[in-house]
Amino acid sequence: SAVISQKPSRDICQRGTSLTIQCQVDSQVTMMFWYRQQPGQSLTLIATANQGSEATYESGFVIDKFPISRPNLTFSTLTVSNMSPEDSSIYLCSVEDRAGGSGNTIYFGEGSWLTVV
């Protein structure tokens, strides 16, 4: 499986500011995703990061709030804009591996723990 590195691993942010999370993969991957996991909740897909084009956002998530870049097949960024305490969450970068032939297996980075104060 791919090795996925995220940074920052954690941060405490002021309300109203923005933070960009970086995700680096050690191999070229077609599909990269960004998930959010709020405290005590399960994972929710924010968007699919598309290389060379705009990200595909899920219902409830918009580009103005969560702009995403995907300049190449090994790197992506997620920005959490104009943060409020409700954005306190773990944000997870993930990639898809279809090599196993068992469907859409997803591997995750270690996550970025954001606390907004």
Partner 1 sequence: RKEVEQDPGPFNVPEGATVAFNCTYSNSASQSFFWYRQDCRKEPKLLMSVYSSGNEDGRFTAQLNRASQYISLLIRDSKLSDSATYLCVVEDSSYKLIFGSGTRLLVRP
| Chain CA centroid to CA 31, Å | 12
Written as six digits, the tokens of 52 are 């060379």
Q: Residues 43, 67, 75, 81: which binds partner 1 (CB under 8 A)? A: 43
Q: 10 or 15: whose CB is closer to partner 1?
A: 10
Among 99, 102, 114, 117, binds partner 1 (CB under 8 A): 102
Q: Is 105 in the site for partner 1 (CB under 8 A)?
A: yes
Closest C-alpha among 75, 76, 93, 38 to residue 60: 38
- Residue 86's SS3 state is helix
Using the contact rule CB under 8 A, the part of the chain among 22-30, 40-48, 60-68, 77-85 near partner 1 is: 40-48
| One residue of 57, 61, 75, 107 binding partner 1 per CB under 8 A | 107
54: its two tokens: 């705009």
Whether the CB-CB separation of 93 and 9 falls below 8 Å is answered with no
Contact positions vs partner 1 (CB under 8 A) = 41-45, 92, 100, 102-111, 113
